[in-house]
Amino acid sequence: MAAILTVIAAAPVSEVSLMIVRLISVGMAVGALAVLVGTRARHPGWLAVSVVAILIKLGR
């Protein structure tokens, strides 16, 4: 995933790259929600994954 984001960051903005970034961001947000619900917010991993999802969204 990091390699995909690096390539997208270096390339010009296109509809395909925006869609890929959106999908990765949504996937990370869903993963954060799964960790939040699955651990009943006892594991801080949900916060870290949420921050990653936000940074991906803001980066593009």
Type of residue numbered 44: P
Average pLDDT, the chain: 89
pLDDT greater at residue 30 or residue 59: 30
Query: Which of the two residues, 60 and 42, has the higher pLDDT score?
Result: 42
Model confidence over 23-48: pLDDT tens digits?
A: 999 999 999 999 999 999 999 999 99
31 contacts: CB under 8 Å, gap ≥ 6: 49, 53
Average pLDDT, stretch 6-28? 88
- Check residues 10 and 39 and name the one with the higher pLDDT: 39
